[in-house]
Structure 1
Amino acid sequence: MSSVNIIVKPEAETPRPPPRERILAAATELFYRQGIRAVGVEAIAEAAGTNKMTLYRHFASKDELVAECLRGFARHVEAAWSALAEAVPDPKARLRIWVREVSNRVTDPGDRGCALVNAAVEIPEKDHPARRVVEAFKSAQRDRLVGLCRQAGARDPAALADELFLLIEGARVCAQSMGPKGPCCQLVRLGETVLQSHGA
């Protein structure tokens, strides 16, 4: 009987992401979970499997790294809005789904709130690059919401957008200060009341 030699090829290893991607991923997670001020560049470099020299080769300063992490969060939110618009053409339904999705997030015990709001609290300096990212993003979000409220037939789109914006931001802060079982649980009910009051 002849023997059969079986050659088992080792599984190909997943390529390791380049240093810049690893640094951004590590910094994004650490900033979100522990806070921007609490995390130093050494901890980020270690978590990314690199060193401070490499980190500073890709980012001129910690401030610039924070700003780029927030731009990543902003792009993620933009992608979510685009996906929602494609999946739910009806603007009234889209508003309600958006409120419900935010409610699901803020009532998740593992949620740490909005990364951009958290950054705004930690960074009061108006000329900080990360602060500029936050303000530009939130302004754009408010404009987007006004447009969506207009499409939904609201009698006063700007007023409805502001009320929803304040309700959402307040729920996020409340969830962090009082827990996911506190008043933030009322977000969907209050959101529906506000929407109906504006005819949307």
Structure 2
Amino acid sequence: MSKRTKADDLSEPAVVERAKSMANEWMWAVSLQHDRIVNPRNEDQRFHPWGLGSFNEADIHFLVIALGRLRQAAATIEHVPSCWDSVRNAIKAFDDALPWRKQLRDVFEHLDDYATDSDRRRTNTERKKLQVWSTTGTGLIFLGYDVDWNKANEAAKNLYSAVKAIYESFPRIAKRQQRSPQKGGSE
């Protein structure tokens, strides 16, 4: 597969700034979903067939989306060759920590195919397994994977930290930050 190209007039500092900005948004989304899963809201009671001791399946779907978007934001650093190795290593560590993310993403994104055992499924996951799981202390066993919320949150923080470190050390950006420190922000 060939490498994606970027616009010729897009500078490396602009790529780094955009990657950090997007990673910040998606890290927030991961944190939000993690919190919703481990601390279900009382107003969600009517949607929980087993009571609030359980989690809302929709929040797992949204967590998987947020984790994927965070990974995509980090991958934009590919267009900054001097920084790519460290982020590529962080992405690999992220993927290794969350071996379930890609398959759950595929199943959730193509739920209609999996719900009907369509010939368009990309894995052999059967419809009978879609809503079958068992909970653990910090997650669940689902589709043969141990999905741990805390490990997912920690892997996301580590990936975000790698992007943030590139941002904070990138020469042109670091000089600008020293001249005029940013106020506020959502970090």
TM tier, shorter chain? 0.3 to 0.5
User: Larger % of strand: which?
Assistant: 2
Decide which structure has greater helix share. Answer: 1
Determine which structure has more spread, i.e. the larger CA radius of gyration: 1
- The higher-RCO structure (CA 8 Å, 6+ apart) is 2
* TM-score, length-scaled by structure 1: 0.35
